[in-house]
Every structure is written in C-alpha cells, then in structure tokens.
Amino acid sequence: MIALLRRDLVLAVRAGGGFGLGLAFFLILCVLVPFGVGPEPALLGRIAPGVLWVGALLACLLSLDRIFQLDFEDGTLDLLATSPLPLEAVASVKAFAHWLTTGLPLVLAAAPLGLLLNLPGAAMPWLVAGLALGTPALSVIGTFGAALTVGLKRGGLLISLLVLPLYMPTLLFGAEAARRGAEGLSPTTPLLLMAGLTAGCIAVMPFATAAALRMNLR
C-alpha cells in the first residue's frame, strides 16, 4: 500500500496528475470574485464562506478523472485487480493520494485566501477546520465517481454530474460552520455532522468503489 501511495504521489507531481491544478483554480476563483461582485468589504465577508467552499468543491473535481483512467489505459489497474492487495485497499490509497495532492493544499491555502475575501477573523479557524474535516469526504466520494466512469471516453463531465449531488451535504455543513463562526454562534453542530459524514464515507465508499471497479473490469 505504501508503494502504491508513493507511486501515485510521484505521478501526480511528474505527470501532471492534478498536483497544484486544484490549488491554482482555487486561487484564480478567489481573485476573480471581488472583480465580479465588487470590492465592498462587507459583501465579500458575507459571501466568503460560500465562495471558498464552492471553490474547494470545484477544485476537487478537476483531477477526479485521472484517479483510475491512466491506470486503466496502461493496464496497471488490471494488475492491481489481480494482485494480493484488495481493491478496497487500492480505492482507499487512491482516495488518500488524491486528498494529499488536492485536498490538503486547499486546506493550507484557505486562510490566506480567506483574508483576500475579507473573511472575518472569527470564522477563519472554523473554515480551516471544516475543510480539514470535509475534503477527505470529497476525495473518497470522487474516487467512487471515478471508478464508475473508468474506461469511458470523456468521462470527466459524467463524473461531475454523478458526484456533485453527493458533495452537497459536505458543502452545506462546511459553509454553515464558517458562517456561524463569523456571526459568533457555535459551529459545533455542523462540524460534528460533517465529521460523521466523512467517517461514514471513509468506511463505506471504498467497498462501493471496489464493486464499481470489478464491474467495469469484467
């Protein structure tokens, strides 16, 4: 499993597998929003939690189609399916690699970009905490979507249509936690709900992903 994780990380850096792509998209979105809605600080601070969460969600979508597609094209996925390593473990490693190259950079960049959008200081730790709790669920769900469309040409749009409805609870809980933090309210409830959602996805989705891979590899 460690060797597979190392391989995916190396490919992400060397072969343009999404490393930095999501972060660049996140940055561009946060730079463009003030031009679109105006530079009024009060307005930017009010919409900042939603904008940052939508940006993180869309940034996670950019590299989903590469999670399994390259391995499918060069035959590596067939070797992994017949190796002693269970496909559930392969799915978990793939999701973890996606989070390390996409989700983690978004978490680290959230605070500086929040300042750019005039996010209130009280909301900053809750935004970062929400992204840290929610982005693993985005990667795990996205890996499931990638497994459903593996082998399909131009499956990127189809992945987006499949996983966006599943992303909605994480988006709602994350934005609500940041909004409550900005207003001085307790964000505990949405954060706990998001933590439970992420834990459930991590526990269940690898099995669904493995089943989708077996179906597409027959």
> pLDDT by residue (tens digit) across 58-70?
988 888 888 888 7
CA distance 81 to 95: 16
Burial class (CB in 10 A: 0-12, 13-18, 19+), 160: middle
Residue whose entry in the numeric block shows the structure tokens 């060069």? 74
- Beta carbons of 160 and 184 less than 8 angstroms apart: no
> pLDDT by residue (tens digit) across 21-60?
888 889 999 889 988 888 888 888 889 999 999 999 998 8
> pLDDT by residue (tens digit) across 176-185?
999 998 888 8
Which residues contact residue 177 at a Cβ distance below 8 angstroms, ignoring those fewer than 6 apart? 126, 127, 129, 130, 187, 190, 191, 194
> pLDDT by residue (tens digit) across 183-217?
888 999 999 999 999 999 999 999 999 999 888 87
CA distance 167 to 174: 11
CA distance 91 to 83: 13
CA distance 24 to 55: 11
Quick count: other Cβ atoms within 10 Å of Cβ 200?
Answer: 12
User: What is the structure's pLDDT at 218?
Assistant: 75
Q: Give the domain ranges of the chain.
A: 2-217
Burial class (CB in 10 A: 0-12, 13-18, 19+), 41: exposed
User: What is the structure's pLDDT at 72?
Assistant: 81
Higher pLDDT, 82 or 195: 195
